[in-house]
Amino acid sequence: MAFSVPGPGPRTRSDPDFTETLYHRMAITRAIETRMERHVREHRFAGWWHPGEGQEAAGIGATAAMKHEDYLFYQGRGCSWAIGKGMAPDPILGDLLGKVTGATRGKGGGVPHWVDYSIGVMGEGATLGSVYPLAAGAALAAKLRRSGQVALANFGDGTASRGTFHETLVHAAAWKLPLIYFCENNGLLVGTKLGAVCPTENIADFAAGYGIPGVIVDGQDAVAVHEATAAAIARARAGEGPTLIEAKVFRRRGHYAGDPQNYRDARYAEQYRDPLPVLGEHLAPEVAKALRDAAEAQVQTAYEAAMAAASPDPSVIYRNLYHG
């Protein structure tokens, strides 16, 4: 089952349909997080799971402002971006567990390479920094075709140091491409603190050098993220060019499942605000609970189906590869 996308916003906190939709999507994302965390503990796991627990509001809030036909290039912590854009848990879990029911028919194998072109999920930038030129290319195509689509490049704070960030943005800004740069700043790149490698505390500060807006938003608040993204998308669709959004988020778990996290600073944990109750306080408690229960049941069914599905035949390993 795919989800319908309510966008384009802005919608408000007082709109119950909207807050319930966002909450339900966050609850599905959280249920996949919890399920994967258990799976890695209980089974031999052939892949690498990069948990997104705690960061659900960023991807869910932002994608709710996008249309299906808008292009999404994501980095791959957790699965909120794919869920928010309309992917169902089944192809996500199928891919994570390396089964033929996965979005890449099991070739992703743990690392999230979910793709669904029919809803604008263009894939992960696992080689960090690859999302920028790919998203700008999609934005340039949309501009030349006058299609009204936008492209969004999602990345982490560590990936703002890649050369492609800057090389792409200088031209995208000059050409006023319908492009959104969306940074999830969790302050950590693997075990290194951002301050050790970056001169500015805010990634949004880079925007000034390219003459575009740099917007900082509370990344634990899905509605605030949605509002900031909807404004950036409206600007892009109006031909006014890119916006750099920086969502201040919190990485609740390790860089990867099993990370011993020796680098953790106790004060970091004190700052955590769980994005589910942040939004949930705008819902009746019984409604929030019913949405969480429904999400958990749906994810459990998808997990069991993925566990029961076949692994791909080794003969397909070279299929869908491009070479010169």
Ligand X SMILES: Cc1ncc(C[n+]2csc(CCOP(=O)(O)OP(=O)(O)O)c2C)c(N)n1
The Cα–Cα gap between 286 and 290 comes to 6
The partner residues of 183 in beta bridges, in order of sequence, read 155, 246
- Which positions touch ligand X (CB under 6 A)? 77, 126-129, 155-159, 186, 188-190, 251, 255
Q: Cβ 76 to ligand X, closest distance in Å?
A: 8
Q: Which residue is it, tokens 């509370």?
A: 218
Output 185 or 243, the one with its CB closest to ligand X.
185
Token pair belonging to 21: 């939709």
Residue of minimal Cβ distance to ligand X: 156
CB-wise, 94 or 112, nearer to ligand X?
112
From its phi and psi, is residue 110 left (phi > 0), alpha (psi between -120 and 50) or beta? left
Residue 250 C-beta: closest distance to ligand X, Å: 11
Closer residue to ligand X (CB): 149 or 185: 185
CB of 184 to ligand X, least distance (A): 6
Q: And the tokens for 254?
A: 């390790």
CA 14, 15, 18, 21: dihedral to nearest 10 degrees?
Answer: 80
Q: In this complex, which beta carbon is closest to ligand X, that of residue 190 or of residue 284? A: 190
Q: Which is nearer to ligand X, 158 or 242 (CB)?
A: 158
CB of residue 163 to ligand X, shortest distance in Å: 10
Q: What is the C-alpha separation between 34 and 205, in angstroms, rounded?
A: 34
For residue 227, which of 57, 15, 65 has the smallest C-alpha distance? 65
CB of 48 vs ligand X, minimal distance in Å: 9
Minimal distance, residue 318 CB to ligand X, in Å: 23
- 């007082």: which residue's tokens? 14
If the CB atoms of residues 39 and 77 are measured against ligand X, the closer one turns out to be 77
Tell me the C-alpha distance between 31 and 33, whole Å. 5
DSSP 8-state assignment for residue 313: P
Closest CA to 95 of 53, 48, 129: 48
